[in-house]
Structure 1
Amino acid sequence: MFPVAENDNPEKTQVSAHKQATLKGLQAQLGSAGVTLPALGPDVTDAADRTEMLTSLAYGEVHELWAETIVDYTAAMACLLMAVRDSDKPILWVTSRAVALDHGLPYGPGLKQYDIAPERIILVQAHKAIDALWAVEEGLKTDAFATVVGECDPVDLTASRRLTLAAQTHGSRCLLLIRSPEAPSSGAHSRFRIAPAASLNALFDAKAPGDARGTINLVKHRGGERPFSITMEWPSHAQDYLSMASEVADRSVAPRAGEPVHATG
């Protein structure tokens, strides 16, 4: 069987229905010939398409960036910042007092590294989680924002469906940054589980860490996209750029002529 991401709305997903029909026909032909179709591994993907999926999330939907632990939150935040750069309109950023105490608030110089002007951020810090959800829902009901960001605890299924309905009705986009040890039940269009990954050594200094990396897993997609797992990298010279990570092969750690040598202690 091909691994297929969870699709909890198949009757409204014409593309998925076509793919499923094609897949069933192929499996029937192979089955009659006595051929077993092997499952594709999680890393067998089109790298360019997978990168674009994260940085061009669809409007009119709710998308979840899921961090299982507090350690995973930084990588999830970096992916969120990459996803909100596709428009110059203001961003409504909603958080609660509890989340702000754990993770802080958006930081101007950090936003600039991702090519996001701090003045685009309209920050709402709600006293309670229920107030934060109300602010997110109301923000989705206007076309004034490029994206409505919600930093929140896992929302229940009813609240999630309300946000989805607001996003679909008004053509707006909601990105929920959620920290939870277990996958919450929700009506979101997609969910990415994000965690940090070990970096390689720096190219010119074996004692120093290399560029930051993160592992991104698609675990849910109502359009029927296959799940995948990829490792992404943020080059130290361009933090606003997200690329597929690749191993350094057949390259010397010695600097090339004319390049500075970094002292090591």
Structure 2
Amino acid sequence: MLPVAENDNHDRTPACASKQAKLKGLMARIGGAGVTLPALGAEAGARDRTQMLTSLPFGEVHELWAETMADYTAAMACLLTALKDNDKPILWITSRAAVLDHGLPYGPGLRQHGIPPERIILVQAHKTIDALWAIEEGLKTDAFASVVGECGPVDLTASRRLTLAAQTHGSRCLLLVRSGEAPSSAAHSRFRIAPAVSHDAFFDAKAPGDARGTVSLVKHRGGERPFSFTMEWPSHAQDYLSMAPTLADRPAAPRAGEPVHATG
């Protein structure tokens, strides 16, 4: 997953340019001409916004919000990106409704995102209340890299319970939420995910390029300012076919009419 665009460069926005001009004029009027002013909005050592998904803090609940069904695939890709920072098992809790709409985690797709399927401990709950209970119980241990929840919108009471469990035990909860409206919650952060238009393929201008998604931080209890950037998932499609291992590893069969020599 690669960052391809970012709109968080505050010191290049028209508003900041206007402020710089006003400050320079003020400094000139008070006799401070020649003083170098720092770039507004620039933060020393500011971390790359595109790395936030791979460094979500523990002890909190984080939401990846897909507003429509069409947004869910991009949100799932961002979720898998957030799971790469640890080698511990992943407790993945889904609900019957989520499975009917979106299916179960797909092994080859997990591997393509750098997550071995054997890391996943999958729990399929029949009801949403059962899924929420399983998520809360999973957060009460430090045995997992993350606890993933696919269970639709979570009400404020349940969200507070999950947040309390995560903060008490230092665990991390990633909720993949599909909702037409932003739900009220006690989550530490919320990212709004939506698909973006891809560029043309390099080998054919009429072919679709690699998949892209827009990631927007819309809520952050740590004081992080809202921002948005575009991510790209390189397909790296193979242009050849690999032979199945059971066929590739066995000796070649003799051609018709050739003698077969016994060995040993």
TM-score, scaled relative to structure 2: 0.72
* Bigger Rg, structure 1 or 2: 2
Partner of 2:81: 82
What number of residue pairs does the alignment pair up?
A: 200
- Describe the superposition over 1:140-179 as per-residue Cα deviations: whole angstroms up to 9, x where unpaired: 0011100000001111111001000000000000000000
Give 1:235 shift: 1.6
Partner of 2:141: 142
CA distance in 2, matches of 1:126, 1:195: 27
Partner of 2:118: 119
Distance 1:229 1:47, change over 3 A: farther
Give 1:237 shift: 2.2
- Letter in structure 2 aligned against 1:197: A
- Letter in structure 2 aligned against 1:97: R
- Letter in structure 2 aligned against 1:150: G
Unmatched 5+ stretches in structure 2? 1-18, 28-39, 238-264
Partner of 2:194: 195
Matches within 5 A, 1:54-203: 54-203=53-202
CA distance in 2, matches of 1:222, 1:49: 18
CA distance in 2, matches of 1:186, 1:196: 24
- Describe the superposition over 1:189-221 as per-residue Cα deviations: whole angstroms up to 9, x where unpaired: 000000000001111211111111000000000
Matches within 5 A, 1:243-258: none
TM-score, scaled relative to structure 1: 0.72
CA distance in 1, matches of 2:163, 2:82: 18
Unmatched 5+ stretches in structure 1? 1-25, 35-39, 239-265
Give 1:47 shift: 9.8
Distance 1:137 1:47, change over 3 A: same
CA distance in 1, matches of 2:192, 2:46: 17
CA distance in 2, matches of 1:230, 1:52: 11
**Secondary structure in structure 1 of the residue aligned to 2:48:** helix
Give 1:75 shift: 0.0
CA distance in 2, matches of 1:125, 1:89: 20
- Letter in structure 2 aligned against 1:225: E
- Letter in structure 2 aligned against 1:181: G
Give 1:49 shift: 1.2
Greater mean deviation of Cα atoms: 112-121 or 48-57: 48-57
Distance 1:184 1:83, change over 3 A: same
Partner of 1:233: 232
